[in-house]
Amino acid sequence: MSATDGMRADWAGKDFYAVLGVRKDATAEEVKKAYRKLARENHPDSNPGDDAKHDRFKAVAEAYDVVGDTEKRAKYDQMRDLYRSGGSFGGGGGGFGDAAGAGFDINDFLRDRGAAGGGGFGDMFGDLFGRGQRPRPQSRPRKGADVETTATISFTDAIQGVTVSLRLTSDAPCPDCNGTGGKPGTKPHVCSECDGAGFVVSSVGGAFSMNETCPACGGRQLVYDEPCPTCHGNGRGLSARTIAARIPAGVRSGQRIRVKGKGAVGENGGPAGDLLVTVKVSGHRIFGRKEDNLTVDVPVSFAEAALGAEITVPTLAGPPVTLKIPVGTPNGRTFRVRGKGAPRKDGTYGDLLATVQVQVPAKLDPAAREAVEAYRAATAGIPLRANLFES
């Protein structure tokens, strides 16, 4: 048996009367009364987080969509009688065959909406037979929207990590009506425009029809005579809250951190969205950053650079380190101190890059001047700029 035949048999085997709790010969008014009672008891707005009642509500709505319509109900009964009597759905020819081998044309049985004047059996099984739209859009859980914000932190906090408090304002269910859109204390009733289906069917010509969200209830299937005065019936509002967000160690300026589940509240029991925090890092008086390395400019005297020295260099988060300056160190030379930089995701650290800046004194006392003049006299024969004039 093909997959399509199996789907047909599944539909034919469903007892929509049992779902609604009515007899097969129940009147249209009894069917409607039973549906409205079950819809109120199992509606998602009245039972947030109860998946069993959500599924029950969908099954009730599906059953009423069929047996609540006179033409659909008649064809549904005919189809079930055929199925129980041993009939089967034909294959490529589109016909039914009974146990005796007799058959009839399924095209007569599944008369389209255009020929039937609307609400035909073909519409009900349109998706089943690959025609038209899906018979019912379901209110599935929907993840909440992501929320974006900015956090400015210090240079030191960016290297070491920090927890910040963020004040957020985001879209959320109305706090007064809990997202129902109705005035608190009032009770909803089934929408008369769509009869609780949440959608209306509009013909787009020929045998095709299209489901559109009900303009009266907005797809909620229930309506309130008095709208919520806070949200004016739309069920949405703004939520202001303060959350703590952890900024990991080693974050860079401009980097965006995702905090799971701290965004806008989901709909129909769906999960909350995420919080996206764009980090801005303030500058530091001494240190800079180059990728995962920290940088620092270290002033040294001419004598230290020329004669060599051991100097002390600060680190950002630990004790100072000793740096050995070799004899004849030129201005601008960079020394690398391993493991004193920014932390990486793998647990290792970058380095500290210390760049020597030879200082020239603005003023000299008599003793220093005498020493410098002696040095100048001693090095007068060294042609420092000779290469500038070579052709």
Asked whether residue 194 is marked as a ligand-binding residue, the answer is: yes
Q: How far is CA 160 from CA 60, 244, 251, in A?
A: 57, 17, 9
Asked whether residue 228 is marked as a ligand-binding residue, the answer is: yes
Collapsing DSSP to helix, strand or coil, 5 comes out as helix
* DSSP string covering 113-127: HHHHTSS-HHHHTTT
| Alpha-helical runs (H) found in 145-283 | 155-160
List, in sequence order, every residue forming a beta bridge with 151; answer none if it has no partner. 279
Asked whether residue 213 is marked as a ligand-binding residue, the answer is: no
CA-to-CA distance for 65 and 55, rounded, in angstroms?
Answer: 15
Asked whether residue 190 is marked as a ligand-binding residue, the answer is: no
| Nearest alpha carbon to residue 27 among 19, 37, 39, 35 | 35
Maximum Cα–Cα distance across the chain:
127
Asked whether residue 168 is marked as a ligand-binding residue, the answer is: no
**CB contact set of 183 (below 8 Å; sequence gap of 6+):** 177, 224, 226, 227, 228, 229
Asked whether residue 170 is marked as a ligand-binding residue, the answer is: no
Asked whether residue 141 is marked as a ligand-binding residue, the answer is: no
Asked whether residue 74 is marked as a ligand-binding residue, the answer is: no
* DSSP string covering 147-187: EEEEEEE-HHHHHH-EEEEEEEEEEEE-TTTTTS-BPTT--
| Alpha-helical runs (H) found in the chain | 3-12, 16-20, 28-42, 51-67, 70-84, 106-109, 113-116, 121-124, 155-160, 302-307, 366-378
Annotated binding site for Zn(2+): 174, 177, 191, 194, 214, 217, 228, 231
Annotated binding site: 174, 177, 191, 194, 214, 217, 228, 231
